[in-house]
Structure 1
Amino acid sequence: MQTRQVDVAIIGAGTAGMGAYRAALAHTRSVVVVESGPYGTTCARVGCMPSKLLIAAAEAAHAAAHAGPFGIRVPSVTIDGAAVMQRVRSERDRFVGFVTDTVDQWPAEHRLRGRAHFVDEHTLQVDGADGALQLEARRIVIAAGSHPQVPPAWRDAVGERLIVSDDVFGWTTLPASVAVLGAGVIALELAQALHRLGVRVRMYARGNRVGPLTDPVLQVRSRQTFDQVMPLTLNASDLQLRREGDQVIVQSGADEQRFDWVLAAAGRRPNVDALQLHNTRLPLDAQGVPLFNRRSAQVGDSHVFIAGDASDELALLHEAADEGRIAGDNAGRFPDVRVRPRRAPLAVVFSDPQIMIAGQSHAQLVAEGVDFETGEVSFTDQGRSRVMLKNQGALHVYAERSSGRFLGAEMLGPAAEHIGHLLAWSVQRGDTVQQMLDSPFYHPVIEEGLRTALRNLQRALRMGPPPIERCLDCGPGA
């Protein structure tokens, strides 16, 4: 077997792996990136970008079909499934092309095709089309990504009629019916998009939560909201699947329904099982994922670092990019390992209404025993939201009782992707509620609802309220 020695070996060429590569190059040119699958990040190929393309088509169809309340008469809306999926695939390929062009510009000696696993702490075996190679690396970055998690019983029951989110973006047209199993971010986004594009959809969840919100009040509101806009079956802990010809029977309790496809959207699993980490002395959690310091990306006190979805922490592109840079920098400079500050957490769900969590969630604050207060606003009568007929949902904001420091927020409502950024920035700066209220708010905008929530929070903190300047003709939450 051939052998090769390098300073830094990186397993995976996704967002985290590419970030690690660039950062490691600042310290050494002896770097190799091992990739077993096609180049192109999860985000570009089967994640963020193609899903938003599908959602954009769904939003256009929904807007056309629901223009009546504005006095706009659209006689009929016809959805061309083939044209929808053609645009999704075409634009997806364009985004993937940007990534592959970047990788193609790397020196050939920095790219290695094959599947890697650990022989020992410093040795990787890479099995490729031309045989096996042993890679002796002084430092290693695990950036192997993740894959959709599918319970084996589901696959055994329905065979090839079970698909995962990755498969959706290879469709050449839209199917007639899909059962979506799961109620998390991926399930919610795809189920609602397909429903709006004319696919008969039902979403099944084992529990009663819809989406990632942790605030109990907002959980109830999310469940009620989405139950009104698409078919849901909650608390389906007795879910049973069986195949009949080219259809799948989904049974929950006494209810049976037929679908063309079953979309398993029950989360993702880090790609660590095939790495044979048992051949190392690296510390692992109960799921076999390496234990690491999130500010240095270092696994234990070893020369191994981990980044991106493989770490099973925050499966978000901006987090993977940050982790990749931290891991690659420390792998390059090892043993001079340095900690780096992390950005304030921010997560967005591109449903309608949108969902966001910025800073610390309600569940995190409770679990950590933080003494905090909550301010809230409903968007039902919020001025700009009502003008746009986007007046659904609510925003909850949290602050430390003793200091008035803003800690985080959870939201179901319009423009959550934008308000989430404002709030994450405030968390990262360490703003107080008063400092946030001292900032300008234009009229009429959805952000005025945020101001109402902050005023209510200030009252709950007994640190105010500040003088109220309200448009008397604009209604509550203006």
Structure 2
Amino acid sequence: MPDVDVAVIGAGAAGLSVAAICNNLGLKVALIERGRMGGDCLNYGCVPSKALLAAGHAAAEARAAARFGIRLPPPEIDWAGVRAHVRGAIERIAPNDSAERFRGMGVDVIEASAHFLTPDTLEVGGRQLRFRRCVIAAGSSAVIPDIPGLDGVPWLTNETLFELEEPPGHLIILGGGPIGLEMAQAHARLGCLVTVLEAAPRIAPREDAELVEGLRAALLRDGVEIREAAKVVAVEPLEARSETPQAGVVAVLEDGSRIAGTHLLLAIGRAPRLASLDLAAGGIAASPRGVATQADLRSTSNRRVWAVGDIADPEGIGPRAFTHVASQHAGIVVRSMLFRLPFTRVDYAALPRVTYTDPELAQVGLTEAEARERGIAGLAVHRWPLGENDRAIAEARPEGLVKLVVDGRGRLVGAGVLAPRAGEMAGMFGLMIGRRLPLSALAGLVLPYPTLAEAAKRAAGEYYAPKLLSAGVKRVVALLRHLP
């Protein structure tokens, strides 16, 4: 006889959502977490990083106030106060994810490690736990690269960065993806020297190259040094000297150049937390990318098991390390596991992603390059610069761009935005792509004036402008003008 209906391994965003829904539907649920409730997002990722970015944004706005005719002294950075703000954000959200809250709901919260003994049994904290169904939501952690010398120097990941009691003197960041760029800008705005080393030809390699140009310019204005196509071949310890009073690390690049800093942040990617689960004992197929699942997130080899969040590797689709994907996965698992609904499957066609720098870079659906690689018929790209947006002009922030990728039938297949709070527009584009709405829906949308979102509407209007101003339409208007 099973001990529980559903065993959930991991109390991050995905695991908490699955546990809450299953419990509310009357199932007996065990929620197993060996670390902090709330997982990476609350404790080491989304929440602390956005809190630190907000502090950096406040400092940057104080420095730039003169553009409004307001003159302020240079901001003084109180690092202890910044850390208190970051901790306060975590502490305010933490009760929603706490063991006490979930136990109050009736969930059996077990604070221990778990690993599989058999296809339907876990060992949890020294005892056996049999389940009808199991959901693996163990998440991911920062990739630790195999770089000569790394074991001889101190380094940071997102799990340790926010514990620094003093600001880094010179932060070297390996990786120019979202985490690396966000932390680069936040620390630069808070008075730290920052160097980003990206091995690929450009930073943010997954994002639209045209939008990345504007983001790069913004980071450089904030004082971030960016080295692209910069492969690190070794790291060495840096001893404190009179000219470098803080000990640190030296990054040795493939071209022979050496960059010395006080701290090294590893931000080159994420890897699923598989090692401690003993998936083989559970008959669960996996790869270095994660737990192998069907499109409905059910294990390809153990029909009692599902995987959600960063650790899930749906066949033909691959993993996505976003908190909002974890929430999406929870809904899919409920439909698949509990209601046995057919044709339930992961679909990332309208998946948004945002790099939360200032300006933010948001992308929904395909980039222009991805759309061209797929050979989409009748592909068209329409842009509207923020320099032509009244709200951006009023706020003296005219740098940025809205870029729409449209197929031959006039449907949006991708949208990219570089703008302050660009992520706030992502939902609008996601709805259009997900519901396959024609671009006319956006072009005809009535938006409040003045807003940055009007740039999206103007970009959509560019698709119809040639049709509305065609010779045929002008002839019709000329004929109709004679009517009373």
TM-score by length of 1: 0.87
Contact 1:61 1:77 in 2 (8 A): yes
Contact 1:157 1:242 in 2 (8 A): no
- Counterpart residue type for residue 426 of structure 2: G
Q: How many residues align?
A: 454
Which of residues 362, 387, 391 is equivalent to 1:384?
Answer: 391
Contact 1:356 1:416 in 2 (8 A): yes
CA distance in 1, matches of 2:35, 2:148: 25
- Counterpart residue type for residue 330 of structure 1: S
Kindly state the Cα deviation for residue 46 of structure 1 after the two structures are TM-superposed: 1.3
Quick check: 1:210 aligned with 2:196? no
Kindly state the Cα deviation for residue 56 of structure 1 after the two structures are TM-superposed: 0.8
SS in structure 2 of the partner of residue 153 of structure 1: coil
Kindly state the Cα deviation for residue 367 of structure 1 after the two structures are TM-superposed: 4.3
CA distance in 2, matches of 1:310, 1:79: 38
In the alignment, what sits opposite 1:107?
A: 106
In the alignment, what sits opposite 2:61?
A: 63
In the alignment, what sits opposite 1:284?
A: 286
Contact 2:362 2:417 in 1 (8 A): yes
In the alignment, what sits opposite 1:444?
A: 450
CA distance in 1, matches of 2:23, 2:129: 18
Q: Calculate percent identity across the aligned residue pairs.
A: 25
CA distance in 2, matches of 1:10, 1:368: 38
1:380-421 CA-partner distances (Å, limit 9, x unpaired): 4433223322222322101111x2112220122233122222
- Counterpart residue type for residue 458 of structure 2: T
Kindly state the Cα deviation for residue 26 of structure 1 after the two structures are TM-superposed: 5.1
In the alignment, what sits opposite 1:260?
A: 262
Q: Check 1:155–1:17 CA distance in 2 against 1; reply closer, same or farther (3 A cut).
A: farther
Kindly state the Cα deviation for residue 121 of structure 1 after the two structures are TM-superposed: 1.9
Q: Check 1:465–1:450 CA distance in 2 against 1; reply closer, same or farther (3 A cut).
A: farther
Superposition pairs for residues 421-460 of structure 1, below 5 Å? 421-458=427-464
- Counterpart residue type for residue 348 of structure 1: V
SS in structure 2 of the partner of residue 377 of structure 1: strand
CA distance in 2, matches of 1:140, 1:241: 42
- Counterpart residue type for residue 305 of structure 1: W
Kindly state the Cα deviation for residue 189 of structure 1 after the two structures are TM-superposed: 0.7
In the alignment, what sits opposite 1:300?
A: 300
1:289-338 CA-partner distances (Å, limit 9, x unpaired): 222234x221227221111111152222222122123324533456x666
Superposition pairs for residues 143-222 of structure 1, below 5 Å? 143-153=137-147, 156-159=150-153, 161-211=154-204, 213-222=206-215
Kindly state the Cα deviation for residue 427 of structure 1 after the two structures are TM-superposed: 1.7
Kindly state the Cα deviation for residue 267 of structure 1 after the two structures are TM-superposed: 1.5
In the alignment, what sits opposite 1:124?
A: 122
SS in structure 2 of the partner of residue 96 of structure 1: helix
In structure 1, runs of 5+ residues without a counterpart are 468-478
SS in structure 2 of the partner of residue 163 of structure 1: coil
- Counterpart residue type for residue 291 of structure 1: A
Q: Check 1:154–1:328 CA distance in 2 against 1; reply closer, same or farther (3 A cut).
A: farther
Superposition pairs for residues 463-474 of structure 1, below 5 Å? 463-464=467-468
SS in structure 2 of the partner of residue 134 of structure 1: strand
CA distance in 1, matches of 2:274, 2:197: 28
- Counterpart residue type for residue 268 of structure 2: A
Kindly state the Cα deviation for residue 342 of structure 1 after the two structures are TM-superposed: 5.3
Which of residues 325, 339, 344 is equivalent to 2:344?
Answer: 339
Contact 1:85 1:173 in 2 (8 A): no
Contact 1:392 1:414 in 2 (8 A): no
CA distance in 2, matches of 1:214, 1:263: 22
- Counterpart residue type for residue 171 of structure 1: L
- Counterpart residue type for residue 65 of structure 2: A
1:17-50 CA-partner distances (Å, limit 9, x unpaired): 1111123235553321221112223221111111
Contact 2:20 2:102 in 1 (8 A): no
SS in structure 2 of the partner of residue 339 of structure 1: coil
1:435-474 CA-partner distances (Å, limit 9, x unpaired): 2111114443322322232123345xx655699xxxxxxx
Kindly state the Cα deviation for residue 73 of structure 1 after the two structures are TM-superposed: 0.9
Q: Check 1:454–1:62 CA distance in 2 against 1; reply closer, same or farther (3 A cut).
A: same
Which of residues 118, 127, 143 is equivalent to 1:133?
Answer: 127
Contact 1:376 1:457 in 2 (8 A): no
Kindly state the Cα deviation for residue 353 of structure 1 after the two structures are TM-superposed: 1.3
Which of residues 389, 399, 410 is equivalent to 2:416?
Answer: 410
Contact 2:298 2:307 in 1 (8 A): yes
- Counterpart residue type for residue 132 of structure 2: R
In the alignment, what sits opposite 1:97?
A: 95
Q: Check 1:262–1:293 CA distance in 2 against 1; reply closer, same or farther (3 A cut).
A: same
- Counterpart residue type for residue 365 of structure 1: A
Q: Check 1:243–1:356 CA distance in 2 against 1; reply closer, same or farther (3 A cut).
A: same
Kindly state the Cα deviation for residue 98 of structure 1 after the two structures are TM-superposed: 2.7
Superposition pairs for residues 22-101 of structure 1, below 5 Å? 22-25=20-23, 28-100=26-98, 101=100
Q: Check 1:339–1:28 CA distance in 2 against 1; reply closer, same or farther (3 A cut).
A: same
Which of residues 231, 256, 259 is equivalent to 2:225?
Answer: 231
In the alignment, what sits opposite 1:251?
A: 252
TM-score by length of 2: 0.86
1:236-267 CA-partner distances (Å, limit 9, x unpaired): 11443110232111233343332221011111
CA distance in 2, matches of 1:174, 1:215: 32
SS in structure 1 of the partner of residue 52 of structure 2: helix
- Counterpart residue type for residue 256 of structure 1: R
Contact 1:455 1:465 in 2 (8 A): no
Which aligned segments of 4 or more residues in structure 1 are displaced greater than 4 angstroms? 340-343, 462-467
CA distance in 1, matches of 2:113, 2:14: 17
Contact 2:44 2:159 in 1 (8 A): yes
1:136-169 CA-partner distances (Å, limit 9, x unpaired): 222211111111111143673443x201112122
Quick check: 1:317 aligned with 2:323? yes
SS in structure 2 of the partner of residue 425 of structure 1: helix
Contact 1:298 1:306 in 2 (8 A): yes
- Counterpart residue type for residue 147 of structure 2: A
Q: Check 1:9–1:333 CA distance in 2 against 1; reply closer, same or farther (3 A cut).
A: farther
Contact 1:23 1:329 in 2 (8 A): no
Contact 2:198 2:229 in 1 (8 A): yes
Contact 2:139 2:272 in 1 (8 A): yes
